[in-house]
Structure 1
Amino acid sequence: MSSALRVLLTDRAWPDAEIEKKILGAARAELVEATATDEATLIGLAKDVDAIATNWAHVTEAVIRSAPRCRIVARLGIGIDNIAVSTATELGIPVTNCPDYCVSEVSDHALGLLLACARQIGFFHLRTKRGEYDLSAAGPMRRLSGQTVGLVGLGNTARELVPKLRALGLTVLSHTRSGADYGTGCRMVSLKELCEQSDYISIHAPLVPETRHLFNAERLRWMKPTAYLINTSRGGLIDPAALWEALQKNVIAGAALDVFEPEPPDLNDPLYQDERVIVTPHAAFVSQESLDQMRTQAMNQVVQALRGERPDNLVNPTYQA
């Protein structure tokens, strides 16, 4: 390969790009880091690169069309809602992701949020740090064993979460668009049944046009007033205005959110200031091991494409190498 190959890294959520530089350097490719993630900046940089790798920045139709040499758009992550996949497919550009790099971490985080809701850990922490030492300040709590968790979606993360939940004595229900249980043995129910029967709902669905604001005012009303909603998937799966209204009217007991719409959110919003809402800063995917795996996997896919090979983990299946 020519030493003139250039790879654009639009953004990163880790301190340096040494892993990326090492892998690309071995393939005689240069890493170019964007100085900003606005569309105009990315369009300007994309004109002269052979590959685009993106973490959270939006690789729009305009960005892709401005990159005539581009051989791949590689997502440093799982979800692909920030990439114009249809445009890439039209132009014969493969799009890849890293579908399993943080399965353990996100399933652990979802479980941690569930336990924090069940034991009122976030509530007690805030009150106690403010000087209020009162175990009766929270509402009634129930023994975890015997309660029901509803999983919306059964992707890799949700499937890893299932045995962790069962180990705690929880009953697990699920809803998928296909109705498939993917070998988990979960009882499959409609979304309405899941909402009506679950004490905790954990969302593990992709964000696509059909699932945007999946949890709107109507579906929140299906939930038990004692139930909690947990989201470690994508912020756009929940209508934040509807969630705030549901909390104000005590339609549900609380929520635990690692993802937001928009991202980052305005933390002064009353929704995120409410004691019944636990918030973490899109941190579920993070561990040293998961980041190293993701970065290595994504860069190896870039190198495959630069070599003219069919890259691993294609997300546009109609792409023809």
Structure 2
Amino acid sequence: MFGILVVAYLFLGGAGAGAIVLACLVDLAWVREPFGMRARPSFDEARPSERIVAFGLLVGLAAVALGALCLMFDLGRPDRLDALLTSAVPSLIVVGAYAVALLVACAAFLTAVRFAYVPAVPRAAVVVVEVAAAVSGSVVMLYTGLLLQSAVGVALWRTPLVPVLFALSSLSCGIAVLLACARFAGPLDACAARLARRFARADLAIVALEAACAALFAGLALASDHPARAASAESLVAGAHAALWWVGFAGCGLVAPFALEAASARMRPDLARATLAVAAVLVLVGGFCLRASVVDAGGHRALELEETSDAFALRLE
């Protein structure tokens, strides 16, 4: 049903949106990077924490834009995307398209004012755009899961646990992007080091919630009376897609990062920084494997089971 380009869009859109949302929230609540005539004359003089935010926005923008390109190529015709943006009929797809477009525009502005010194832009304008980016990015994080949940004829995806699971994964991937950016932001001062430790602690909680949500999603699907949903879940946890689910998602995306992030709290700063960078890479691998396994397990279900069960449900109604 959905190919690799759609999986790439779901991953890149979710991870990029998560990185942009978190970068904006961190700047609004913690960093408060100066702008306007009183700001420093160039990005070279930015503090390490400001560099983390700037690089996070840049990487997030690149990921969302690349994800949008993957979706365009999957549609096959660019005019279809134009039709979505100009449609007068409200729908989930139209809302998602506008959210992605707004997020790209906001992130492009926020990236430009950081990497190209623009003294005419006041801090108040940056705050307004950061709030808009955080809101539109949150919509995109939810939308990537809602897109699957709204798909007709795929029982495995028809549960609110899918958008919740994808949103949690997007947040975790967003933290991973910022932790990776911290690795390349130059020497960290005390403020940036504290920020990295807070990212790691926050990700420990998110990974735990993600694991609980994934277990509930798989368990309810396996116990479902809907034969197609149960068959898809069986394929996910013990069939053709089990390697992606257990090794890629559970192992690389949950267990290993949790252990590394927990252990980093007891390491010396330089070793902790390298450890968190490794954990960030594993989180991103797990985020992709989550989407690939869930999409493939639902998309390659037994069609006759779906049709039989749906017809039976219609007769009961």
Q: TM-score range by the shorter chain?
A: under 0.3
The two structures have a TM-score, normalised by structure 2, of 0.25
Which structure has more helix as a fraction of its residues? Answer: 2
Considering Cα pairs closer than 8 Å and 6+ residues apart, tell me whether 1 or 2 has the greater RCO.
Answer: 2
The two structures have a TM-score, normalised by structure 1, of 0.25
Which structure has more strand as a fraction of its residues? Answer: 1
